[in-house]
Structure 1
Amino acid sequence: MTTVELPAVDAGPDAPRKISERPAASDRVFRGLLRGTGATVLVIMALVGIFLSYRASEALRSAGWRFLTTETWEPDAGRFGIAAVLVGTVLIAAVAIVVALPLAVGTALYISEYSAPWIRRTLITLVDLMAAVPSVAYGLWGFFMLQPQIIGLARWISTYFGWIPLFDVPGADPTDPLSTATVYTSSTFVAGIVVALMIAPVMCSIMREVFNQAPVGEREGAYALGATRWGMIRTVVLPYGRGGIIGGTMLGLGRALGETIAVFLIISPVFAIQPHILRSGANSVSSLIALRYGEASPLGTSALMAAGLTLFLMTLVINFVASSIITRSRSGASSDA
Structure 2
Amino acid sequence: MAPVDTPRTTIPGAATGPADAPRRVRERRGGADLLFRALARGGGVVVLCVMLLVGGFLLYRAQDALGVAGWSFLTTQEWDPDAGAGRFGIAAVLTGTVLIAMVAIVVAVPLATGAALYISEYAPRRIRQTLISLVDLMAAVPSVVYGLWGFFLLQDNVLGLSNWITTYFGWIPIFDVKDSDPRDPLSTMTVYTSSTFVAGLVVGMMITPIVCSIMREVFSQAPPGEREGAYALGATKWGMIRAVVLPFGRGGMIGGTMLGLGRALGETIAIVMIISPVFKIQPHILENGASSVAALIALRYGDSTEAGISALFAAGLALFVMTLIVNFLASMIIARSRSGAASEV
Given the two structures, how large is their TM-score scaled by the length of structure 1? 0.95
Cα distance in 2 between the residues matched to 1:331 and 1:85: 40
Q: Which residue, 98, 119, 127 being the options, matches 1:119? A: 127
1:293 aligned to 2:301? yes
Displacement of 1:326 in angstroms is 3.1
Output one character per residue of 1:87-128: Cα deviation in whole Å (capped at 9) or x when no partner: 000000000000000100110000000000011011000000
Could you list the structure 1 runs, at least 4 aligned residues long, displaced by more than 4 angstroms after superposition: 331-334
1:73 aligned to 2:79? yes
Aligned to 1:192: 200
Question: Do the aligned partners of 1:168 and 1:276 also contact (CA within 8 Å) in 2?
Answer: yes
Cα distance in 2 between the residues matched to 1:303 and 1:285: 11
Aligned to 2:64: 58
Cα distance in 1 between the residues matched to 2:339 and 2:251: 6
Question: Do the aligned partners of 1:93 and 1:192 also contact (CA within 8 Å) in 2?
Answer: yes
Displacement of 1:12 in angstroms is 3.3
1:24 aligned to 2:30? yes
The amino acid of 1:281's aligned partner reads: G
Question: Do the aligned partners of 1:111 and 1:123 also contact (CA within 8 Å) in 2?
Answer: yes
SS of residue matched to 1:80: coil
Aligned to 2:219: 211
C-alpha distance 333-28 of structure 1, shift in aligned 2 (>3 A): farther
Aligned to 2:172: 164
Displacement of 1:11 in angstroms is 8.3
Displacement of 1:333 in angstroms is 8.2
SS of residue matched to 2:336: coil
Cα distance in 2 between the residues matched to 1:314 and 1:179: 40
Q: Which residue, 44, 51, 57 being the options, matches 1:45? A: 51
Question: Do the aligned partners of 2:222 and 2:340 also contact (CA within 8 Å) in 1?
Answer: no
Displacement of 1:219 in angstroms is 0.3
Question: Do the aligned partners of 2:219 and 2:249 also contact (CA within 8 Å) in 1?
Answer: yes
Question: Do the aligned partners of 2:207 and 2:263 also contact (CA within 8 Å) in 1?
Answer: yes
Given the two structures, how large is their TM-score scaled by the length of structure 2? 0.93
Unaligned 5+ residue runs, structure 2?
A: 1-7
Output one character per residue of 1:71-101: Cα deviation in whole Å (capped at 9) or x when no partner: 1100101211000000000000000000000
Unaligned 5+ residue runs, structure 1?
A: 1-5
Question: Do the aligned partners of 1:109 and 1:211 also contact (CA within 8 Å) in 2?
Answer: yes
Aligned to 2:4: none
The amino acid of 1:257's aligned partner reads: L
Question: Do the aligned partners of 1:82 and 1:285 also contact (CA within 8 Å) in 2?
Answer: yes
C-alpha distance 8-121 of structure 1, shift in aligned 2 (>3 A): closer
Cα distance in 2 between the residues matched to 1:153 and 1:214: 38
SS of residue matched to 1:330: coil
Moved more, 91-100 or 20-29: 20-29
| TM-align CA RMSD | 1.6
Output one character per residue of 1:3-32: Cα deviation in whole Å (capped at 9) or x when no partner: xxx954768332112111111111111111
The amino acid of 1:14's aligned partner reads: D
Output one character per residue of 1:247-277: Cα deviation in whole Å (capped at 9) or x when no partner: 1111110110000000000000000100000
Aligned to 2:148: 140
Aligned to 2:21: 15
Displacement of 1:328 in angstroms is 3.4
Question: Do the aligned partners of 2:223 and 2:339 also contact (CA within 8 Å) in 1?
Answer: no
C-alpha distance 251-133 of structure 1, shift in aligned 2 (>3 A): same
The amino acid of 2:227's aligned partner reads: R
Question: Do the aligned partners of 2:223 and 2:340 also contact (CA within 8 Å) in 1?
Answer: no
The amino acid of 2:282's aligned partner reads: Q
